[in-house]
């Protein structure tokens, strides 16, 4: 059955394949359907397909490969931790093709950072569990993921304080055990100077005492009683990331 668009046509076709590429369903080198197949699937004209493919090419998501037709390019885009959750919910893929993580660390620390204390409604000096890992694309570090959990969350999901990767999203485990829904708060972004640990994790070779600007996105998770987690993603300079539509 053909997909009949109620929108602009070419934008909907482009959005369909953009989503499949970003979610990892289509990997670099995979061929997109032929123009004839896309026309049939979406019930659109050849000109509409051509325009949609042009949009994807301009975004660096696909490329023309002669007899192979249009194939998925190696995307320069790096997604956030929250986007990774959306991808896992969509198709169960934790990592996109070529993506991995390393240097997983778990620690208990007293927190004094005002932004974190405010986000988690904690007093300076309260103890939290911090989980850190470095995300990589083709073994090149692209971002550092930091997630911080207050005692209330850890009491229901003690696995957060254990070494090793979590098996699934903490929110699903929390909901299963408490029957309380976990909601994502507003995602925000800002620029700041990277710490020395972040420079090392991202393999940035900078002279001592040199200020290196990085992009940071943050998001808080909460239930009806208050905040449950604070996530921060720190991106290497020059990294491109998709923004919400």
Tens digit of each residue's pLDDT (9 = 90 or more) over 181-203? 999 998 899 999 999 999 999 99
Together in a domain, 207 and 126: yes
Q: What does the pLDDT average to over 220-231?
A: 96
Together in a domain, 165 and 49: no
Largest CA distance in the chain: 63
The residues near 188 (Cβ < 8 Å, ≥ 6 apart) are 217, 218, 219
Q: What is the C-alpha separation between 115 and 125, in angstroms, rounded?
A: 13
Per DSSP, the residues of 95-123 read S-TTEEEEEEEEEEEE---HHHHHHHT--
Together in a domain, 165 and 55: no
- Mean pLDDT rounded to a whole number for the chain: 88
For the question of whether the overall pTM of this predicted structure is more than 0.75, the answer is: yes
Percent of the chain with pLDDT over 90: 61
Together in a domain, 187 and 137: yes
Q: Which residues of 129-165 are buried (b: 16+ CB within 10 A; e: fewer)?
A: bbbbbbbbbeeebbbbbbbbbbebbbebbeebeeeee
* Higher-confidence position of 206 and 231: 231
Domain membership flag for residue 1: no
Domain membership flag for residue 222: yes
- Which of 2-11, 74-83, 119-128 is the most confident on average? 119-128
* Higher-confidence position of 173 and 84: 173
Q: Residue 2 has what pLDDT?
A: 46
Answer yes or no: is pLDDT of 134 > 90.
yes
As for how many domains the chain has, the answer is 2
Domain membership flag for residue 214: yes
Q: Residue 245 has what pLDDT?
A: 58
Q: 236 and 214 in contact (C-beta within 8 Å)? A: yes
Structural domain including 200 reads 81-235
Q: 16 and 55 in contact (C-beta within 8 Å)? A: no
| pLDDT band, residue 8 (cuts 50/70/90) | low
Neighbour tally for 49: CB within 10 Å: 25
| Polymer length in residues for the chain | 245
Q: Residue 108 has what pLDDT?
A: 97
Q: 31 and 76 in contact (C-beta within 8 Å)? A: no
Answer yes or no: is pLDDT of 138 > 90.
no
Answer yes or no: is pLDDT of 61 > 70.
yes
Domain membership flag for residue 4: no
């Amino acid at each position: 059955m053909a997909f009949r668009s109620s929108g602009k046509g070419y934008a909907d076709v482009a959005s369909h394949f953009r989503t499949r590429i970003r979610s990892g369903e289509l990997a670099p080198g995979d061929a997109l359907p032929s123009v004839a197949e896309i026309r049939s699937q979406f019930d659109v004209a050849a000109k509409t397909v051509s325009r949609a493919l042009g949009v994807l090419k301009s975004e660096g998501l696909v490329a023309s490969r002669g007899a192979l037709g249009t194939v998925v390019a190696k995307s320069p885009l790096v997604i956030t931790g929250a986007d990774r959750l959306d991808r896992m919910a969509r198709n169960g893929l934790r990592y996109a093709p070529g993506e991995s993580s390393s240097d997983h660390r778990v620690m208990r620390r007293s927190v004094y950072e005002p932004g974190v204390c405010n986000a988690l409604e904690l007093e300076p000096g309260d103890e939290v569990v911090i989980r850190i890992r470095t995300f990589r694309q083709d073994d090149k570090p692209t971002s550092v993921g930091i997630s911080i959990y207050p005692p209330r969350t850890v009491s229901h999901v003690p696995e957060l304080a254990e070494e090793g990767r979590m098996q699934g999203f903490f929110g699903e485990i929390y909901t299963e055990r408490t029957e309380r829904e976990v909601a994502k708060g507003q995602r925000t972004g800002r620029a700041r100077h990277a710490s020395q640990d972040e420079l090392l994790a991202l393999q940035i070779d900078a002279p001592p005492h040199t200020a290196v600007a990085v992009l940071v996105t943050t998001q808080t998770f909460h239930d009806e009683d208050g905040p449950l987690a604070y996530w921060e993603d720190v991106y290497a300079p020059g990294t491109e990331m998709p923004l919400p539509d």
